Structure 1
Amino acid sequence: MAFSPLVDELVESLRCLPGVGQKTAQRMAFHLLERGRSGGVRLSEALSTAMSDVRRCDSCQNFADTPVCGICENPARHTGTLCVVESPSDLLAIEQAGDYRGSYFVLMGHLSPIDGVGPEEIGIERLLQRIEAESVKELILATNPTVEGEATAHYIADRLDGRNVLITRLAHGIPVGGELGYVDGFTLTHAFRGRKPLAD
């Protein structure tokens, strides 16, 4: 049964969100219309403002509403260390951990030739220019441990071959509190390859 065109349009609009199918979109739409209208108005205003005003930082490509984001403008950040991540959510995860105090570069994706995503689409040239301009001493490749993430990390490392930049990769392996019997073979292989001496 079809609803009014306005309700149908609301449901279809909500389906653009990841993981939201027809039933979930209907449930969201009905909730907003039945008892969440003030929240719906606030949501629509926030969406409208964000879609028109949020841009990419000129320096790191992260989401920002100013030409340069707050992290890049912070003089307390160590500019000699640059961490490369695939997405703003990866940057947020590192920031929430609270230990890293360097700068970032957000690729907004990874290399995927089959999907037509090459070095130009993720800003590799901008990354290389920034490394040169800021005399970066250490580049941390924090791309995801997927086939595409590994390929992206290796491509960046190859492009920096011969430059005086220390290239490091985030350790991959067994999570704290994990048990070997439940770890998949791929993760276990990475853990063995990344082993290091036991600290005193």
Structure 2
Amino acid sequence: MASLSFSRVTLMMVQLVLSLTLMLPSALAGVICEDLPQDLCAFAISASSKRCLLESIPRHNGPTEYQCRTSEVVVDKMSNWIETDECVRACGVDRNSVGISSDALMEPHFASKLCSVACYQNCPNILDLYFNLAAGEGVFLPDLCEAQRVNPHRAMVELLSSGAAPGPVTSSEVGSIKGSAVADPSAPAPAPAQA
């Protein structure tokens, strides 16, 4: 009886060692964006600390294909990261996001999820990404989140008025856009050509 349980334990140990041996090379290689499936690509960080991004590839005779690529966006202090489902849900991001864009910051529902305690305090990768995207738009994310907590509507108004996003277009502006092919008499003259 004792030898039977010993052989089961031995068999389990052999299986464990075998499975670890098979998984170890991929674990040592780290995250390679081009090897990730579409549903894990967005918000992943490669072994070289570069963000992975999902790219669309239009096809003439078929549906658009998607591929995971390594971007040139370097992440400080993080590598080999595949974002958790918990953070994807808590922060309101979409794993099928193509490219990297700050557009979502303009959506009040997204901003409230991003600034929620569940996301803001537990999801450093997503926060780092949107902190940098917001900074690129001239917005300090902690200030946006504080305004979002105090008065969500005002936070969006301030974001729009900061120049980070285009505001509503009036009918007179539409008219001037339509007529923009006509030279503006108040515009400076072009510089003379150099010979």
Superposition TM-score, scaled by structure 1 size: 0.29
Q: Which has the larger radius of gyration?
A: 2
Superposition TM-score, scaled by structure 2 size: 0.29
